Amino acid sequence: MLTWTVVIALALGVYGQRAAGALFLKADRLPEPAKRVLDKLPLAIIAAVIALTTVTAGGQLSLDARLAGVAVAGFCAWRKLPMLVAVVAAAATTALVRAVF
């Protein structure tokens, strides 16, 4: 089960790695592809945690209304809509799917 303690520990670990890299590595020595990967790594880890908590419940695969809400939020983010719009659209989608099914 993924708890808030684990989420916080992962977040601290990711940002700790970023800080250590900034302190101990010279960015001009890294090849450009490595820089691009390192820039996107924290976002990938956070996305993985969100995906895991969205499609599991009690350690089992659970495809429910949460998945629809996250999909709508992802679409809103892709379209670069304001955060408030994304949150309201995701919540409304999740509520609608729960009400219908």
Q: What are the domain boundaries of the chain?
A: 1-63, 64-101
| Total-model pTM | 0.61
Bigger pLDDT: 40 vs 76: 76
Nearest alpha carbon to residue 42 among 11, 70, 4: 11
User: Which residue is it, tokens 């994304």?
Assistant: 86
| Confidence check: pLDDT of 1 > 60 | no
HSE-up of residue 93 (Cα within 13 Å, Cβ side)? 19
Which of 8-22, 56-70, 76-90 shows the lowest mean pLDDT across its residues?
8-22
How far is 38 from 43, CA to CA, in rounded Å? 10
What the block records as the tokens of 43 is 């976002």
Question: Are 10 and 45 a contacting pair, CB within 8 Å?
Answer: yes
pLDDT of 2: 64
Q: How many helices (H) and strands (E) does the chain have?
A: 4, 2
Out of 10-14, 24-28, 71-75, pick the least confident. Answer: 24-28
